[in-house]
Structure 1
Amino acid sequence: SDTLSVKMKDTIVAAKAIVPKTWNTDPLSPAKAAFYSAILPGLGQAYNKSYWKIPIVYLAIGIPTYLYFKNDNELQRYRTAYKQRLDGRTDDEFYQGRTDGNPRLSTDALRRAQDLYQRNKEMSMLFAIGFYALNIIEANVDAHLKQFNVDENLAIEPFMQQDIYRVSYVGLSLTYNF
């Protein structure tokens, strides 16, 4: 009988398994960001953690809103004076301080001023609505871009090569690694 025995172990050495990268994305996050910005301007930017954009949103919506009310006040001022002139009164604010009976602004100038402030008021409202919509769109796009894959597997990089005659070639290189 054989005194030397060899014991064999049944072992398998496995290489590390290749695990594909998984992205932790929330498919509803762009919709949530847009919804939050629609409810309260700037809230979608806060949801996206783009806090520096919030003051810009409030300035973009606030300035046209302020100008809307300022133009509305001026419109009412000129409209009141115009109506008083059409009634034949000479006690509006544009007659004050004039003793010769000639107003600082004529009736036609009051009508033109009304048209100007009415147009400015409407434009201010359009800008405020436009910036409100832009706020919603920006929150949605920013949330989409936060999900964008930015790694080294897909890259556009500057490319520079010299040949044997010391002539340089410059270009862009599109790299896609599997």
Structure 2
Amino acid sequence: MVVFRIILFSFFLFGINSAIAQVQFEEVKITKDSTSYKPIDPLTPAKAAFYSTVIPGLGQVYNKQYWKVPIVYGGLAIGYYFYNDNNKKYNEFRDIYKRRLEGYTNDKYQGIYTDAVLINAQRTFERNRDISTAVMIGFYVLNIIDANVGAHLMQFNVNDNLSLTPDVRQNEIDYKYNVGLTLNYRF
């Protein structure tokens, strides 16, 4: 039994060495990647955010995302329009109410609106004016964030070697559809 183990051990020892010696290595050729290398500038997102802070939409122009500029100015214009409209109506109802407190009775809403309705209208238009201000500030901040994130995402290498695709397969057991995502990475 001991002799058998020695023969088996020597067979493995010499057999592995001879098997390794017979393997021929092929020459491996390394080809250049088809994608072009662009150096990453870590200050690009900061520049884009700064440009959008100074002039809204300029960060999107810096990122070459020109189609976003009308969206930025449209959002700011809508916020400004509603701010201006609600501010005019607020000032109108406030002035009418002040004149009524002073004793004047010749306003255009005399006999139509009571003092309580004028106070309620003031509060409503003031609240809407404040919401419009928040919308304008929100679009301004989103403009800055979008420019920064857009500049960050432009630095990622996105090509066909990396893809995320939806995957819909029919289960063979109960014939229901399984839905998922497939992440492919090719070397």
Identity %, equivalent residues: 48
Partner in structure 1 of residue 146 of structure 2: 138
Other-structure match for 1:68 = 83
Measure, in 2, the Cα distance between the counterparts of 1:118 and 1:137.
29
Equivalent in the alignment of 1:55: 70
TM-score by length of 2: 0.71
The match for 1:7 is none
What is the DSSP-based 3-state SS (H/G/I as helix, E as strand, rest coil) of the residue aligned with 2:164?
strand
Residue in 2 aligned with 1:151? 159
Match of 1:174 in 2: 183
Alignment match of 1:119 (pick from 127, 150, 157): 127
Say which is worse superposed, 85-94 or 152-161, in terms of deviation: 152-161
Q: 1:28 aligns with which of 35, 43, 46?
A: 43
1:30-109 matches, within 5 Å, as 30-95=45-110, 103-109=111-117
Distance 1:171 1:123 in 2: 41
**What is the distance in 2 between the residues matched to 1:120 and 1:170?**
44
Alignment map for 1:3-22 (pairs within 5 Å): 22=37
CA distance in 1, matches of 2:58, 2:78: 19
**Deviation digits for residues 104-141 of structure 1 (CA, Å, limit 9, x no counterpart):** 11111111110111101111001100110001001111
Please state how far the C-alpha of 1:23 moved relative to its aligned partner: 2.8
Shift of 1:42: 0.6
Query: What SS class does the counterpart of residue 37 from structure 2 fall into?
Result: coil
Q: Judging by fraction of residues, say which structure has more helix.
A: 2
Query: Which 5+ residue runs of structure 2 have no aligned equivalent?
Result: 1-27, 170-174
Please report how far the alpha carbon of residue 175 of structure 1 lies from its aligned counterpart in structure 2 after TM superposition.
Answer: 2.9
Distance (Å, rounded) in 2 between the aligned partners of 1:115 and 1:170 = 51
Question: Per-residue displacement from partner, 1:40-70 (whole Å, max 9, x unpaired)?
Answer: 1110111111111111100101111121111
What is the Cα-based RMSD across aligned positions, in Å?
2.8
User: What's the secondary structure of 1:41's corresponding residue?
Assistant: coil
Give distance in 1, aligned partners of 2:148 and 2:56: 12
TM-score by length of 1: 0.74
For 1:50 and 1:64, how far apart are their aligned partners in 2? Answer: 22
**Paired residue total:** 153
Residue type matched to 2:38 in 1? W
